Amino acid sequence: MVSPPPGIAPPGIPSLGITFLPAFAPEQLREVAQQADSAGLDELWLWEDCFRHGGLATASAALAWTSRITVGVGLLPVPLRNVGVAAMELASLHRLFPDRVLAGIGHGVQSWMGQVGARVASPMTLLNEYDSVLRDLLAGGEVTFDGSYLHVDAVKLHWPPTGNVPLLVGGEGPRSLGFAARRSDGVLLTAGLGVSEIGAACDLIRAEAAAAGKATPPVVVPLIAATGVGAAERVAVEVARWQKSDRDDVGVAGDAEALAAAISRLAEVGVTSVAIQPTEDEPDLPGLCRFLGRQVRPILAGS
């Protein structure tokens, strides 16, 4: 079995991270990143949502402000980013911060892609081409490619990464998840799903990976969560905002034991990394990082 990407634990005890939502002002990131780092969390996940945060700009800052935590970008919308530029940016991050960077690619929200004139007729065709070209560029090769959407002529990175570059793929439907299972170094699932829905996705990922003759890739899942006064109400509002599922186990509210139990249930169905997703009205992001690192993580570790 291949080793999981840095920051993502093998099956059993899942990696524990925090998601810095694009709803939060960029100037809040420094304190949150440093608190997550010092609290012992494994991962800090950033999103590239139109038209809020740039995923690679915020990742670079978070990496520079911290010393050990893995920083993930989930995900980069492939219609929005030129593949050569994406390769240059990711290569630079991996050379500057070895073994601390995770990046995912995906279709992006189609309505947003339409707003910037980047929407394509076949998102799967573009994702297939983009994944292939980006991997070849990050591997240091000279790439010439003439596809339906990507056209690359003798492109080669002058400063390619010096080691392995894990590249994750995000998706929702069976075709996207199947592609991610067969091709990626990890799969990013969407937020707002119940445990049984996540379990079904993990089953599909395992089956597709096995059919392709490869090990099951790590699976990263955001978990909407809150603690403290008004936690249940805030989680209910956040779950309703996503409108992804009618299950009653989509989010979790409560003390450290409640969150640890919810995370453990996800691990049981195949999730290897849980990125706690705060509510958009979370009153104390740095405090939530400390709570996760100092109270929830020891329970998961069995201490």
> Could you read off the pLDDT of 178-230 as tens digits, one per residue?
999 999 999 999 999 999 999 999 999 999 999 999 999 999 999 999 999 99
pLDDT for the residue numbered 5: 58
pLDDT of 303 higher than 80: no
pLDDT in tens, 6-62: 555 544 689 999 999 999 999 999 999 999 999 999 999 999 989 999 999 999 999
Work out the average pLDDT over 113-125: 97
Rounded Cα–Cα distance for residues 291 and 234 (Å): 17
pLDDT for the residue numbered 238: 97
Across the chain, mean pLDDT equals 95
Pairing of strands 143-146, 43-46: unpaired
Work out the average pLDDT over 274-299: 98
pLDDT for the residue numbered 3: 42
Amino acid, single-letter form, for residue 213: G
Answer for the pair 274, 221: CB distance below 8 angstroms, yes or no.
Answer: yes
For 6, 9, 42, 276, 285, the CA distances from 292, given in Å and listed in that order, are 20, 16, 11, 9, 11
pTM: 0.94
Rounded Cα–Cα distance for residues 52 and 280 (Å): 14
pLDDT of 2 higher than 80: no
pLDDT for the residue numbered 164: 87
Kindly report the number of other CB atoms within 10 A of residue 199's CB atom: 17
pLDDT for the residue numbered 4: 52
Q: Which of 190, 196, 242 is nearest to 219 (CA)?
A: 190
pLDDT in tens, 101-116: 999 999 999 999 999 9
pLDDT for the residue numbered 10: 45
pLDDT of 245 higher than 80: yes
Work out the average pLDDT over 82-86: 98
